[in-house]
Chains A and B, each alone.
Chain A
Amino acid sequence: MIQVGIKKTVLLISSSGGHWKQLLRTESAFGECEKYYATTCASYSQLVPSGRFYSLPDASRWNKFKLLWQAINVFLLLIRLRPDVVITTGASVGFFALFFAKKMHIKTIWLDSIANAEQVSLSGVKVQPYADLWLTQWEHLAKPGGPCFYGSVL
């Protein structure tokens, strides 16, 4: 049978470190898609296929100007790639990605970091209106109105 149609494109985006490590563990769900990757550490380009990686400014200390600069860069990346779906594990860079993606009618997934075992992260709470699929990795944090729990990356 001939398969007709264009591959879906997915942008996997998060800050560096543990968020990124968790994000890459979801990759197998997007086997049939064109995947693009973005994070806040340029040297991570070594970890993904060439030509698929985008480096973003870091704002790990939540400096207002750095955050604004990061948001602008995330917005420009979304305009450039126009993916069908955006998935993130956090933190600020993921929040901005879903915030803009939702306005651009791109489907959005927030998978809250497994590090947040006792409460959903601050950005995870704030992102709710912009997340089409709003997930926690801890069953005891799931609620009827979301976030939902369908398992974890571990």
Chain B
Amino acid sequence: MIFVTVGSQLPFDRLVKMVDNWAENNEEHKIVAQIGDSDCNTLSFSSCPSMSPDEYNQTFNEADLIISHVGMGTIITAIECNKPLLILPRLTNLGEVRNDHQLATAKYFSNYNNITVVNNEDEFLIAMECMVNKSIDIEKQEINAVSDTLICTLQAFVSGS
């Protein structure tokens, strides 16, 4: 199953339409989508504006592939669960977000084993070809933990307060 999530606040119809176009030629794949306040109402897969945390976590765990915007919630969850994640940055010039921090974030997270960044529909289709048709065995990453120095700093700060 493929899980498409664009966060529960702003819509991201450019990504939803890319998935929909792909899905028309790949009907054998089940797709579940959380698409926010979207104008897409004739999609070829099931979708909802937003999910409860339980529903979200369950769908995330069942998914073989996650498709998303460059949202930290999705990125952290995908790293925690070691799930393949395909991300498309939102752009300000298309009115998709307030600033272009998603472009910067995408750059910094593109070196994670499980994360693939795409910037347009052509790259999206190529990435889908690779990710869906090959069984992906992601090497477990050892970078999941919170920094000890950060935790110690916070602990010391609270003790001293």
Q: A residues touching B (Cβ–Cβ < 8 Å)?
A: 8, 10, 16-22, 25-26, 28-30, 33, 41, 43-44, 46-47, 60, 62, 84-85, 87, 107, 109, 113-118, 121, 132-133, 135, 138, 150-154
Pairwise interchain contact B157-A107, C-beta atoms closer than 8 A: yes
Number of A-B contacts (CB under 8 A): 115
B76 at the interface (CB under 8 A from A): yes
Q: Is the CB of B73 within 8 A of A46?
A: no
Q: In the assembly, what is the distance between CA of A18 and CA of B87, in Å?
A: 15
Chain B residues touching A, range: 35 or more
Assembly CA distance A150 to B155 (angstroms)? 12
Contact B149 A133 (CB under 8 A): no
Contacts A46-B53, A87-B154 aside, 5 further interface pairs with beta carbons under 8 A come to A29-B151, A43-B53, A114-B105, A116-B105, A132-B157
A6 to B158, CA, bound (A): 13
Indicate if the CB atoms of B76 and A21 lie closer than 8 Å: yes
- The 6 A-B pairs with the shortest beta carbon distances in the complex, nearest first, are A151-B147, A18-B72, A29-B154, A151-B150, A118-B104, A18-B73
The complex places the Cα of A40 from the Cα of B14 at a distance, in Å, of 26
- Whether B53 pairs with A117 at a CB distance below 8 angstroms is no
27 contacts between A and B (CB under 8 A): A17-B9, A17-B72, A18-B71, A18-B72, A18-B76, A20-B73, A21-B76, A26-B150, A26-B154, A29-B151, A29-B152, A29-B158, A46-B53, A84-B158, A85-B157, A107-B158, A109-B154, A115-B101, A115-B105, A116-B104, A117-B108, A118-B104, A135-B153, A138-B108, A151-B148, A151-B153, A153-B147
B79 within 8 A of A: yes
Q: How far is the CA of A133 from the CA of B151 in the complex (A)?
A: 13
Cα distance, A86 to B105, chains bound together (Å): 26
With a CB–CB cut-off of 8 A, which chain B residues contact A132? Answer: 157
Query: Is B73 touching A21 in the complex (CB atoms < 8 A)?
Result: yes
Q: Which of B63-102 contact A (CB under 8 A)?
A: 70-77, 79, 98, 101-102
